[in-house]
Structure 1
Amino acid sequence: MLTFCSPAQNAHAPLVELVNGQAEAHAETPARLANMLAAMGPMCAPADHGMEAILAVHDADYVAFLQSAHAAWLAAGREGDAIGYAFPVRGRRPLALERIDGRLGQYSFDTVTPIAAGTWEAAYGAAQSALGALEAVASGETRQAFALCRPPGHHAGADYFGGYCYLNNAAIAARAAAARGMGPVAVLDVDYHHGNGTQDIFYADGSVFFASIHADPRTDFPYFWGHAEEHGTDEGEGANLNLPLPRGTGWATYQDALGKALDAVTRFGARTLIVSYGADTFAEDPIAQFALTTDDMHRMGARIGALGLPTVTVMEGGYNVAALGRNVAAFIAGLESA
């Protein structure tokens, strides 16, 4: 399978995250990428497809903020990574804020997603990897391609970042696919956490179907999105499917949810599939609570591959660094076996 990865993705190296009242070493580190690269063999460096596809998903003001935030943080006399501390509970609206502290809160929703010196370069590189994989599928060079995106993307909305995510790689690929006449497009999210940013971006867009299998948000991040009753709105009514599962879920239960999601993708009439793949469903992931094995990753990939659709997979989470490469490799092998 053609796999795409930009060298710039190593530039993002956040130091700490503020979680559960503590400053902890950040879980989303360059070591994740190094482990996957070691396990997966040769990579294709993506071409630079520019900003057009990114701006088709993300607001221009938000993108400009991501590009300038760390410099503004340093200019304010701060050190290290930029992390917000004040967030609007309701009534988010455009505001001409001046202090970097306020602007960080304006464009984010948590304290676990700092903007470091190389964050923009890495996020941009990850988006280019997703676009490179899409180009390979769109051109007919391959039927399946994998984008080894890091940082991940599915928690990022049109104008906000969070959950370690800054640019929504899956949404960028999905909208670019639709623009190229590859629709209807479906996005299937199999990360442990709900892809709230992807849901938000397409919630009123009936041209893109979104299905997510994830930990029940009553107990797990991102809490405020991903509940089963969220079906879409306006033109997107019925084009959003959430399948929340309890902590401790193993393959027997997970495969049933996966079957429901794949059936929904088929009923939608999808001609192109974008997969948000997170290896944090692994039983030994340090920040997740499902019980899938490496063999289950292969089974998951095989079930998805059996749809026979042109497929672009973008990497999301997975924080057991030692096991990450073999889990991703197992998933890809499953995709290819179908």
Structure 2
Amino acid sequence: MQPPSDPRIKKVTAKDVAERAGVSKWTVSRAFTDGGTVAPKVRERIRQIAAEMGYTPNLLARSLSTRSTRLIALVVDELGNFNQLRVLNEATRQMQARGYSTLLLNLSAEYGPAEAVNLADQFQVDGIVFLGTTLKRDLIELAQRIKHIPLVVILRNSGEADIRYVSTDGYVAGGEIADLFLSEGYRRIGYMAGPMSERTELRRMEGFRDRLKEAGTPLSLVLEASHYRRSEGLQTLQRYLEATPRGERIEALFCENDILAIGAMDALVATHSQRKIAIVGFDDIELGSSPSYELTTFRQPIEYLVSEALRRILDPDADSLGSLMAPGTLVMRQSHRRSAG
């Protein structure tokens, strides 16, 4: 019987592999470095010996010599948001495909932006991606002070000339949704927003309101949910329905994101008002396509946005690239149509 492994056994090092292969330690290092100048046969032999000995490169040690940790910090503040999770999945997938690892920094009441950005700096990350993060003043000032780390904001306009962003054009999207409601003949139209501090720079409401105004139909109502949660969407619309006579209610409602829209649709069911108000969301999360909701929504080009964000951090031409506003796609289902009566 094989005796149990001893946890005190010394880890195999590059020097050990070098001695077995009859090469220098630096040749071993180059054999595990992309683009390293090592003959193909030598590289193959070193890697085979390393596999037999159970050797893996020490990435932290390598970063000291290459001045690159191949580590990207992802700063988030809304992990309960379904769309954020989808973007996080895509971002980590693309980073790993490019040979980078992720340092995930989740902002909260106990762990603020100062701690997150300072930690990213201490880890000497190769870049920072603010993933839909609300850029409050203290976070902006910290980011601007750390000039040696490239950074980019994704899914939200930074609102700062010297902080690049990659986002869907929310203003244009809002206009498209306004046109959809107008084409359906609605005239009493509302908007459900998230918290004031978190919706800044999304520009969805502004595009929606301005397009309605151009068409001679003012925005009739703005509801504000205290958080981007399904329960908040439900309670916000439910309070409105309870306080407003049926004949005075809005005919259509654009919700700032899908999870608020789904909550609003649940409120219609809970008050026996299903399909009495047309509803459109934003993001195209998977739940919205359920037969229970058939949510009409606006899809963001997540794969493209993530790719462009990483390009602004990692590619050789990164310094020449400015901010980017990308078009999205209106996804037509059934929720933008309401029943008669």
The answer to which structure, 1 or 2, has the higher relative contact order (CA under 8 A, 6+ apart) is 1
TM-score, scaled relative to structure 2? 0.34
TM-score, scaled relative to structure 1? 0.35
Higher helix share: 2
Answer with 1 or 2: which has the greater Rg. 2
